[in-house]
Amino acid sequence: MGWLNGRARQRLALCLGLLLLVSLGLGLAIAGHPGATHALGSATGTAPDTQAPAPLPRPVASITPADGKPLNPTKPVVVHVENGTASAVTAKDAKTGDPVDGTLASDGTSWTSKGQLAYGSTYAVSVDMVDPAGAPVHQDLSASTLKPSTLAYPSFIPPPNQQTVGVGQPIVVRFNHPVHNRVAAQNALSVTSSPAQTGSWYWLSDTEVHYRPRTYWTAGSTITLKANMFGVDLGNGIYGETDRTETVHVHDAWVAKADGATEQMQIFDNGALVKTMPISLGSPGFPSHVGPHVITDKQPTIIMDSCTYGVCQGQPGYYKEQVDLDLRISNDGEFVHSAPWSVGSQGGANVSHGCVNLSPANAQWFFDHFGIGDVVEITNSGGPQLPLDDTFGDWELTWAQWQKGTAT
């Protein structure tokens, strides 16, 4: 290029440089185009790497509650399924093999047992599942129920063989072990009556609770007691042993009013005065308790022994003899009964050891018409009030006083 002058050579170099840049850019563009062959060099393009699809998550079953915490047997076993669905779930008592019924949810993600479980038991649970692709998966689980240190049984008064009672009969639940959580126990107890009547519970001790209405039961009432005690934590490792239900019927309202001032006893049937009898109450040395008494037992004949309340043979006032037509009205040895030996004093003087003495004829009439739960109200005897805890001293308290005995 000697023939070019300096300025021409500069222009030529600049043009060649621009041409080279354009060529390189065109080659890169072609090389970057999908499927194109590199314009420069002999290497050809390669296909991008392909990755295998991630594996599907495996179905997993679990039980509520988790971490091996024992179930209260009143609660169901619940199986949960994640990353799939359950096709079948079976459960059985691991020791006895007894099956446990349950319901599988329509979407297959849960199963819930039905019915009551047992204390201190382990249940084997078998779960068949399928993953989202339809592949089967099996899993075995187990669930255990709590084991109480002691079970408390609720017994009832009146008992099952005494289903018809008088208007004064309290409803009583007695436990064979102490109740440390009275609120829990009382929440598990219920009394309903027809016709409806306002009532309340009163705790006499850690093992005994009574229920009574504001006033005597309405004649003809039907009373239902329910003790849903199974699974109830009564405190200190004690749980309710079982559920129980009882229905009691109230007959006519028989109320006797024995007045120590007049030495007469008036008999009322559903509020109507039907008979008046001369009586003899407790002597000044052995006065009858005042207040409403409830008949708790009825026997045609018993042996009365004063030693049962501390007056024994050789002491003044001791006696032991057969007495007929007996209706117990307190646990302190007070009865309404036949007393042929005191007929001359009946209607004129109080000479008994605390009982209501009647002539044989009047005692027979009274025995034929009165029974468990009927009421004998004693006034003007000169004695102390019947103690609340003397079997059924429930009616000695006013309604306001009674309501203070509830746990809730």
Dihedral Cα 394, 408, 176, 74, nearest 10 deg: 140
- 73 preceded by cis ω (within 30°)? no
Q: Which of 98, 104, 101 is nearest to 114 (CA)?
A: 101
Q: Which of 184, 181, 213 is nearest to 200 (CA)?
A: 213
Tokens for 330, please give them.
């307190």
Whether 197 and 218 have beta carbons less than 8 Å apart is answered as yes
Q: How far apart are CA 360 and CA 338, in angstroms?
A: 5
- Amino acid identity for residue 253 in this structure: A
Spatial strand order of the sheet with 189-194 comes to 164-165, 243-250, 222-228, 189-194
Catalytic residue among 251, 293, 353, 355: 355
Contact 94, 142 (CB under 8 A): yes
DSSP code string of 124-147: EEEEEEE-TT--EEEEEEEEEB--
Q: Which tokens in the block code for residue 161?
A: 């063989």
Q: Cβ–Cβ contacts within 10 Å for residue 310, how many? A: 8
> Residue 21, SS3?
helix
Alpha-carbon span 48 to 306, nearest angstrom: 111
Q: Which amino acid is at 336?
A: V
Catalytic residue among 210, 251, 293, 337: 337
- 1 - beta bridge partners? none
The residue among 360, 353, 313, 318 whose CA lies nearest residue 337 is 360
Active site residue 355: yes
Q: Is 337 a catalytic residue?
A: yes
Measured CA angle at 322 (ends 319, 327), to 5 deg: 100
Q: Residue 343's closest CA among 258, 262, 280, 277?
A: 280
Strands 254-259 and 110-113: unpaired
Peptide bond into 360 cis (omega under 30): no
Torsion angle, alpha carbons of 226, 230, 232, 234, to 10: 90
Q: Active-site positions?
A: 337, 355
